[in-house]
């Protein structure tokens, strides 16, 4: 079997899988050689003490490369400040992912929601590997697609790799939270998360235009359509989507390890039993995201101690506020710093329960250059985004 036939068959199988509910995207997926866009990537090292990654660099057109590229999975291409393209053999990456090639099924799902029509202008925010730009360009034409990213290397690499198989969308290196390359678009899709929703996107979105994006530090996917009054109205979608946040530097700011040193075992300035059970914020993700909407920027950590079956949850903030909640036979909450973070979490939980624990995808979105919001089903709860 020739290399062309091998990748074409794998891409067609991927298309069969991920476009079942969006058949209009089948041809684009089956004819876009993702393996050309992601020749190397990082793979998480299981059980590493620190968050470490090993380099995966299969031979060109190998079975390993084709299998990975045409499986519906995200491939992490950049960890911290280091892109896999620039890593030496055997080198380990350390830190959080800073770029990836998103799983194709999610790209197709979001693009399907975008509902692009022939001749419309599309802005692809977050070039990454260039895969989403390649899909849009294949289906709607290169001249109708602009892709932007803050990282010059990502843009240049994607431009060159797309051109190798005839795709030439417009590619620009910009901070997408600022001014855009053009002033008018019909469709905007972001594979990076934002908060706030940039005013420049909403100024550039034509009446009848549509935006699909996610709220930073949550998995809330929003679809909204621009009205003639300059407000884009829509809703949170039922299926979650998690993306890296927009960044301006080579890496994201460090985690709040200094605050954690204080919060880990220190006696709090305020000590009391919790109101109700101590939530597992990794399982009770709607509560976690509501808390993020209400009290943004709080870092959460947790640990379980098997010897006494005790679970501990920490909340950390950049202003030095912290909380530690310990369950077990005598649950207890310690708080310190200028804000009562556990008080804030309990307030959010109580209010959500008073609102019948509404589904998060029942929230409405109202986005405008003057300010964007999510609203609870009865409009009594309003979150700035």
Length of the chain: 385
Give the pLDDT of residue 161.
98
Give the pLDDT of residue 1.
45
CA–CA gap between residue 77 and residue 98 (Å, rounded):
8
Give the DSSP letter string of 9-22: HHHHHHHHHHTTT-
Choose, from 99, 109, 321, 372, the residue flagged as catalytic. Answer: 99
2 pLDDT tier (thresholds 50, 70, 90): low
Find the DSSP H helices in 165-308.
199-204, 257-265, 285-294
12 — alpha (psi -120 to 50), left (phi > 0) or beta?
A: alpha
pLDDT > 70 in the chain, percent: 99
Phi first, then psi, for residue 214 (nearest 5°) are: -125, 155
Active site residue 380: no
Residue 47 corresponds to which tokens in the numbers above?
């059980």
Average pLDDT along the chain: 95
Query: Which pLDDT tens digit goes with each residue over 287-312?
Result: 999 999 999 999 999 998 877 778 99
Query: Which pLDDT tens digit goes with each residue over 334-370?
Result: 999 999 999 999 999 999 999 999 999 999 999 999 9
Q: Which domains does the chain have, with CATH numbers?
A: 3-76+100-236 (3.40.50.150), 257-354 (3.30.160)
Q: How many CA atoms lie within 13 A of 272 on its CB side?
A: 11
Residue 189 corresponds to which tokens in the numbers above?
């899709």
Query: Which pLDDT tens digit goes with each residue over 166-178?
Result: 999 999 999 999 9
CA dist 15 to 18, 28, 105, 107, 211, Å? 5, 8, 9, 12, 24
Q: How many CA atoms lie within 13 A of 69 on its CB side?
A: 30
**71 touches 10 (CB < 8 A):** no
The residue with tokens 């949850």 is: 313
Which residues lie across from 334 on neighbouring strands? 271, 324
CA–CA gap between residue 37 and residue 162 (Å, rounded):
7
């Amino acid at each position: 079997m020739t290399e062309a036939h091998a990748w074409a068959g794998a891409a067609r199988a991927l298309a069969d899988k991920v476009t079942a509910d969006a058949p209009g995207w089948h041809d684009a997926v089956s004819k876009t050689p993702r393996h050309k866009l992601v020749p190397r990537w990082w793979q998480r090292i299981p059980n590493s003490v620190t968050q470490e990654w090993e380099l995966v660099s299969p031979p060109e057109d190998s079975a390993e490369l084709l299998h990975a590229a045409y499986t519906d999975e995200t491939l992490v291409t950049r960890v911290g400040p280091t892109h896999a393209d620039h890593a030496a053999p055997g080198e380990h990456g350390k830190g959080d992912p800073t770029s990836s090639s998103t799983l194709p099924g999610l790209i197709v799902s979001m693009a399907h929601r975008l509902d692009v029509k022939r001749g419309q202008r599309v802005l692809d925010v977050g070039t990454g590997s260039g895969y989403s730009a390649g899909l849009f360009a294949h289906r709607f034409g290169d001249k109708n697609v602009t892709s932007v990213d803050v990282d010059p290397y990502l843009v240049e690499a994607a431009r060159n790799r797309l051109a190798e198989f005839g795709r030439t969308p417009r590619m620009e290196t910009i901070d997408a939270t600022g001014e855009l390359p053009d002033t008018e678009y019909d469709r905007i899709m972001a594979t990076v998360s934002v908060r706030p929703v940039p005013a420049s996107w909403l100024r550039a979105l034509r009446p009848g235009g549509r935006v699909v994006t996610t709220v930073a530090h949550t998995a809330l996917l929003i679809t909204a359509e621009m009205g003639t009054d300059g407000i884009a109205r829509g809703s949170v979608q039922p299926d979650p989507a998690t993306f890296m946040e927009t960044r301006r530097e080579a890496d994201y700011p460090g985690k709040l390890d200094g605050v954690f040193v204080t919060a880990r075992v220190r006696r709090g300035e305020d000590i009391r039993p919790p109101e109700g059970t101590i939530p597992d914020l990794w399982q009770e993700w709607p509560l976690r995201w509501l808390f993020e909407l209400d009290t943004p920027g709080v870092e959460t950590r947790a640990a379980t101690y098997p010897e006494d079956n005790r679970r501990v949850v920490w909340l950390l903030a950049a202003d030095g506020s912290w909380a530690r909640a310990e369950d077990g036979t005598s649950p207890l909450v310690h708080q310190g710093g200028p804000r009562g973070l556990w008080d804030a979490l309990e307030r959010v939980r109580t209010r959500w329960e008073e609102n019948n624990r509404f589904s998060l995808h029942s929230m409405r979105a109202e986005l405008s250059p003057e300010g964007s919001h999510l609203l609870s089903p009865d409009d009594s709860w309003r979150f700035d985004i």
